[in-house]
Amino acid sequence: MNPSPNLFLVGPTGAGKTTIGQRLAAHYGLPFIDLDVEIEKRYGCTITHMFQTQGEATFRARESAHLDEFSLHQGIVLATGAGAVMAAANRETLMTRGTVLMLSVGVDEQLDRLAHDTARPMIAGDDRRSRLEALAGARNHVYEEVADLIFRGRHEDVAHAAPRAIELLDRHWRRA
């Protein structure tokens, strides 16, 4: 386990990185950073707009730069975007600069959580199930590779999930 004051959350779209991350940050008295939100603030547009007008490669380069920048802070809870782990440099950054908690969730739960969400370019289109299954096939093993701990979703709301995540972290997270 990486003894670090930083906690980095990774996992698929709809796993709860933002909502659970906010609860974890409040519980541990740490600032919460949502990497996607920070990118949108800095560039003054949504990620969907970046994908549409500048392409995924431009977004991914910005994502890597922001991950590098924010991961240098000490004592934060940072929620990554779902695809951030796909770049080798980002995996190295995550594994060396913080404790990595993977939020694991099944496709059925993702579909329930994202039923009314139209702001995620990687799952845009009519057949979300197929997109989510393909992303899971490509990414889940990478999330597991970088994770120090894995928190498994149970089709529950954040009020029940967050205390379980805190219990897991309290048992295993050794903050420097």
Is 60 annotated among the ligand-binding residues?
yes
Cα–Cα distance, 24 to 22 (Å, whole number): 5
Is 18 annotated among the ligand-binding residues?
yes
Is 58 annotated among the ligand-binding residues?
no
Is 157 annotated among the ligand-binding residues?
no
Is 17 annotated among the ligand-binding residues?
yes
Residue 165, both tokens: 């995540």
Strands 149-152 and 7-10: unpaired
Is 41 annotated among the ligand-binding residues?
no
- Residue 173: in which H helix or E strand, if any? none
Residue 111, both tokens: 């579909």
Q: Could you give the dihedral angle defined by the CA atoms of residues 87, 93, 95 and 96, in that order, rounded to the nearest 10 degrees?
A: 150
**How far are the Cα atoms of 83, 117, 147, 166 from residue 28, in angstroms, in the given order?**
26, 29, 20, 9
Is 120 annotated among the ligand-binding residues?
yes
Is 36 annotated among the ligand-binding residues?
yes
Annotated binding site for substrate: 36, 60, 139
Annotated binding site: 14-19, 36, 60, 120, 139
Annotated binding site for Mg(2+): 18
Annotated binding site for ATP: 14-19, 120
